[in-house]
Amino acid sequence: MEKTVDESQGSAAEVATAEAPQSSDSGTGVRKRGGVFAQRDFRLLWFGETSSSFGNGIATVSLPLIAVVALHAGPMAVGVLAAAVWLPWLIVGLPVGAWVDRLPRRPVMITCNIVSTVLFASVPIAWWLDVLTIGHLLVVAMVTGTASVFFSTAYHVYLPSIVAEDDLMEANVKLQGAESVMEVVGPGAGGLIAQWAGAVIGLLTNAVTFLISTVCLLLIRSREPEPTEPEREDSLRQQIAEGLRFTVRDPYLLPIVMYGALANLALDGYQAVQIIFLIRTVGADSAVVGGLIAAAGIGGVLGAMIAKPIGDRFGTARGMLICQLGAAPFALLMPLTTPGVGLVFFAIGSMAPMVGVVASNAFLNSFRQRYCPPNILGRVVATTMFLNYSTVPLGALLGGFLGSVIGTRPTMWIMTILLVLFGLILLAGPLRRVRDFPTEPRADLVAA
């Protein structure tokens, strides 16, 4: 599930000279043909993440469809299931950053992939044995959600070990673009699989994609830098506090994190009920649902395509504001969805906001990878993601509750209106006054 703010940090400066990532420029001022795709290790990382994004796109449709169609779950149960995926961020989100700062990142990512493979494969096995329950789905959602916390934190710090600092923007755009394409293909494939073979087969496909991602990680040759040893032996609580203090005191990060947290509450509020809204209120079948969910991914593809031109024309900070504030109001079209031609409202309403989300993420990922101090990268990653994702389970539960009490269409109205209003938070900080994001924080924040 694509989120409003995807936090990423890292520094290429620490990579060992013998196997440092090579810039596409190679110091000549002339770009290599193919850009970052000319680099073998980036191609492996890109292919592995594209494969798992395809599987996750299938799971976005398959998991709630299994609950709704196969297990006859109601709105509240579907909301709880959606919340369970993100609840681990509230439980282990902050300490994971301190742990990742001290651990090699690639082994962490490989371990997480293996755990997710086993858990997702267990669902079709339980179904075939006629023992699948909502409780089983909740366990799968919780454990794979926990693996995602570790993987996401390690992944965002690991990326600059694969590409040079000058190539971070291009690499992030390529990864965001591929992820967006898979968000078109994956849900569509998930809907078709559910229509033809049953939704449980979709999760088996997702398990296979995690295996592909694992193989790609194992084949990467670049040697990541050794985890930074702290200058003093702080307790886990002190280490967490350092990352939290940097994030909430920084004038750029704070409004972005506040907006991300509140926007994610609204996003997951309507996403928790959108499938049951489409099936039971609008009357769409599984294949149509998959196609409509995939429409959001089309917006992501467009967002990846326009990120660099908008950044070049207006600046990275202004470009982020233009993309976020200009696209979010289109979400108000979704509650207008009706059968037949009225399905276009949902397609446009889900697609347009993702244009802004993906374009903005491309700007923000590159900004954070250059901006944050290397010795606290993992903690800043975990802190920002923890704060952003802390509202995800709350939004899912709220959406499920409101859907049960007042109905799914009024719930869609409430959540989409909130999404638009929350965008005003971005105007409270210095973003509205600068053209580009800074490349380093204030000295007093680093010293603190």
CATH of the domain at 307: 1.20.1250.20
- Mean pLDDT, all residues of the chain: 80
Mean pLDDT in residue range 250-266: 88
Pick 371 or 19 by higher pLDDT.
371
Residue 6 belongs to a domain? no
Measured between its terminal Cα atoms, the distance across the chain in Å is 35
With cut-offs at 50, 70 and 90, classify the pLDDT of residue 214: very high
Pick 156 or 348 by higher pLDDT.
348
With cut-offs at 50, 70 and 90, classify the pLDDT of residue 218: very high
State residue 295's pLDDT score: 76
Total of domains in the chain = 1
Residue 7 belongs to a domain? no
Residue 211 belongs to a domain? yes
Per-residue pLDDT tens over the stretch 34-88:
678 888 888 998 898 888 888 877 887 788 888 887 788 777 788 788 778 878 8
State residue 444's pLDDT score: 58
- Of 100-104, 137-141, 370-374, 441-445, the one with minimum mean pLDDT is 441-445
Mean pLDDT in residue range 245-260: 86
Residue 1 belongs to a domain? no
pLDDT at 361 over 80: no
Residue 27 belongs to a domain? no
Residue 210 belongs to a domain? yes
pLDDT at 11 over 70: no
- Of 13-27, 104-118, 135-149, 208-222, the one with minimum mean pLDDT is 13-27
State residue 414's pLDDT score: 96
With cut-offs at 50, 70 and 90, classify the pLDDT of residue 20: very low
State residue 136's pLDDT score: 92
State residue 346's pLDDT score: 94
With cut-offs at 50, 70 and 90, classify the pLDDT of residue 21: low
State residue 22's pLDDT score: 53
pLDDT at 16 over 60: no
> Can you give the pTM of this predicted structure?
0.69
Residue 15 belongs to a domain? no
Per-residue pLDDT tens over the stretch 178-194:
776 776 677 777 777 77
State residue 33's pLDDT score: 59
Per-residue pLDDT tens over the stretch 122-176:
988 998 888 988 899 999 988 988 988 888 888 878 888 888 877 777 787 788 7
pLDDT at 410 over 90: yes
pLDDT at 3 over 70: no
CA separation for the pair 393, 441 (Å, rounded): 31
Residue 149 belongs to a domain? yes
State residue 14's pLDDT score: 33
- Name 292's Cβ contacts closer than 8 Å, sequence gap at least 6: 278, 284, 343, 346, 347, 350
pLDDT at 311 over 80: yes
CA separation for the pair 293, 186 (Å, rounded): 9
Residue 261 structural domain: 33-447
